């Protein structure tokens, strides 16, 4: 359906297309993810465990739990010691990305639209722009009309002056820029790079920039806005759809790998 808005027809842009494609994207994602997971089952061989128990290797339950935390924290701990710059960039980048994807107010509404229980997280919403944050702080602005959900600034308060979509995006662009530099360094050193890395990374970079342009209304026109927002969602959809074939899937497999490590090193082997 096309609604007139001035001389612009809403619906005549990438935006509705992107929205229409979201459900198929999710299906495609599930299909591909199942394929990836199925492969693990297909080649699974039950490990042969020679020792059921072992007299010299008792580990207390508290120790096992402590080691589970250690297992997850170890890469960051060692990384900060031996490769502080890249590790710090990596950690900050992940943190910023998680905040943007899951807590930016606009994104939260998007997620809640498809997954209703997501609303529980609404009180954690962060505003889109630094101006919103500043106004909330200096003028204690609150909505004119009452809403059934908490106001976006409630929990974060003055922190929203820095904790907002705009600044986090700047940080992300810089961090991903450093990351890009890291990749070029590897390229110059003749170290192996993979197409899957570039694909995921470049799409992410483009997507962040598209999202930033759309929300900042650059260029300032409704037609551009709809197309940019549509493109932002479309690129995100390509990212999601191809996730199981790229490094992006580490957001799920990370847990698998670490729990597997803990199970074999701490639980099964019972190292003290």
Partner 1 sequence: MAIAEAKVDMEALNKAIDEVFYSQLDSTLLYYFQACVNCKACEAACPFTPTSLHYSPVNKAEVARQLYRYRFTVWGRTVGRVIGGSKKYLSLEEAETMVDYAWHCVNCGSCAFVCPMAIDSGAMIDLLKQVAFKAGMGPKVYRDIAELEASGKYLEIDFFKNSWNSLISKIKDAIGKEVPLDKKGSEVLFYASIYEALAYPDVLVKVAKILDMLNKDWTFMSKPLGIRPPIGLVIGDKDGAVKVMQRVYSYFTDISPKYVMLTAGGFEYPALRYTMHETLKVEPKYEVVHVTELLAKWYENKEFEIEPLDEIITWHDPCQLGKRGGVFEAPRILMKALSKKFKELPSHGVNSFCCSGGGGGCGLPSMVNNMAKALGIAISDDDKKFLDKTSEPLIKAGKIKVGEINKIKAKEVLTGCPVCIESINFQIDYYHANSKVNHIVDILADRIKVSKK
- Contact residues toward partner 1 (CB under 8 A) are 36, 39-41, 43-45, 47-52, 54-57, 71, 74-79, 81-83, 86-87, 90, 182, 186, 189-197, 245, 247, 249-250, 253-254, 256-258, 260-261, 265, 269-272
Q: In angstroms, what is the minimal distance from the CB of 22 to partner 1?
A: 25
Q: In angstroms, what is the minimal distance from the CB of 82 to partner 1?
A: 4
Side-chain half-sphere CA neighbours of 51 within 13 A? 12
Give the separation between CA 14 and CA 3, rounded to whole angstroms.
Answer: 15
> Closer to partner 1 at the Cβ: 8 or 245?
245
Neighbours of 37 (CB within 10 A): 15
Comparing CA positions, the residue from 258, 256, 257, 252 lying closest to residue 69 is: 258
Residue 256 backbone dihedrals phi, psi, to 5 degrees: -60, -50
> Closer to partner 1 at the Cβ: 43 or 140?
43
> Closer to partner 1 at the Cβ: 54 or 141?
54
Length of the chain: 272
Using alpha carbons only, what angle is made at residue 129 by residues 96 and 107, rounded to the nearest 5 degrees?
A: 60
> Closer to partner 1 at the Cβ: 193 or 218?
193
- Judged by DSSP in three states, 232 sits in helix
> Closer to partner 1 at the Cβ: 7 or 46?
46
Residue 82 backbone dihedrals phi, psi, to 5 degrees: -100, -25
CA distances (Å), origin 13, targets 10, 114, 219, 236: 7, 22, 15, 17
Q: In angstroms, what is the minimal distance from the CB of 267 to partner 1?
A: 11
Q: In angstroms, what is the minimal distance from the CB of 202 to partner 1?
A: 14
Q: In angstroms, what is the minimal distance from the CB of 29 to partner 1?
A: 17
Q: In angstroms, what is the minimal distance from the CB of 199 to partner 1?
A: 11
> Closer to partner 1 at the Cβ: 84 or 123?
84
Query: Cα 164 from chain centroid?
Result: 16
- Judged by DSSP in three states, 8 sits in strand
């Amino acid at each position: 359906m096309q609604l007139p808005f001035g001389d612009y027809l809403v619906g005549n842009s990438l935006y509705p297309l992107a929205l229409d494609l979201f459900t198929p994207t999710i299906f495609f994602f599930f299909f591909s993810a199942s394929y990836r997971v199925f492969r693990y089952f297909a080649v699974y061989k039950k490990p042969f465990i020679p020792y059921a128990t072992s007299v010299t290797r008792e580990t207390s339950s508290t120790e096992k739990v402590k080691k589970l935390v250690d297992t997850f924290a170890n890469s960051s701990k060692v990384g900060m010691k031996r490769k502080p710059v890249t590790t710090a960039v990596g950690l900050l980048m992940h943190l910023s990305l998680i905040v943007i994807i899951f807590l930016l107010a606009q994104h939260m509404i998007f997620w809640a639209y498809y997954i209703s229980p997501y609303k529980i997280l609404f009180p954690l919403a962060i505003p889109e722009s630094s101006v919103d944050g500043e106004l909330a702080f200096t003028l204690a602005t609150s909505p004119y009309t009452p809403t059934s959900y908490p106001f976006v600034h409630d929990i974060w308060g003055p922190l929203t002056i820095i904790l907002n979509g705009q600044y986090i995006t700047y940080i992300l662009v810089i961090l991903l820029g450093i990351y890009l530099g890291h990749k070029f360094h590897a390229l110059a050193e003749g170290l192996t790079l993979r197409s899957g890395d570039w694909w995921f990374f470049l799409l992410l970079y483009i997507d962040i920039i598209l999202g930033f342009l759309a929300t900042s209304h650059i260029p300032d026109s409704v037609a551009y806005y709809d197309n940019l927002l549509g493109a932002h969602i479309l690129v995100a959809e390509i990212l999601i759809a191809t996730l199981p074939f790229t490094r992006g899937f580490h957001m799920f497999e990370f847990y698998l790998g670490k729990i597997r490590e803990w199970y074999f090193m701490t639980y099964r082997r019972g190292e003290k």
